[in-house]
Amino acid sequence: MGKAKGKAKQMKGKMKEGAGRVMGDRSMEGEGRGEQLAGKAEEVASRASEHVRKSGR
């Protein structure tokens, strides 16, 4: 489930970054980039956790 939440957060961040760019709101653009990074981190952590579970450690 973490991978899906991470992907969703990345998509939300992309939309927010784009909206900020269109409106000329640099703060919103930055927030969007931050959300994308947080989503990517969540996705990677979920993959790592899944890998550890599968390896039996």
Amino acid identity, position 7: K
**Closest listed residue to residue 8, CA positions, set 54, 45, 39:** 39
What share of residues in the chain are helix, strand, coil (percent, to 5)? 90, 0, 10
**What does the pLDDT read at residue 57?**
61
Measured distance CA(47)–CA(34) in Å, rounded: 20
Each residue's pLDDT, cut to its tens digit, for the chain (57 residues) gives 688 999 999 999 999 999 999 999 999 999 999 999 999 999 999 999 988 988 876
Alpha helices in 1-57 (DSSP H): 2-23, 26-55
Range of the domain at 22: 2-55
pTM of the model: 0.83
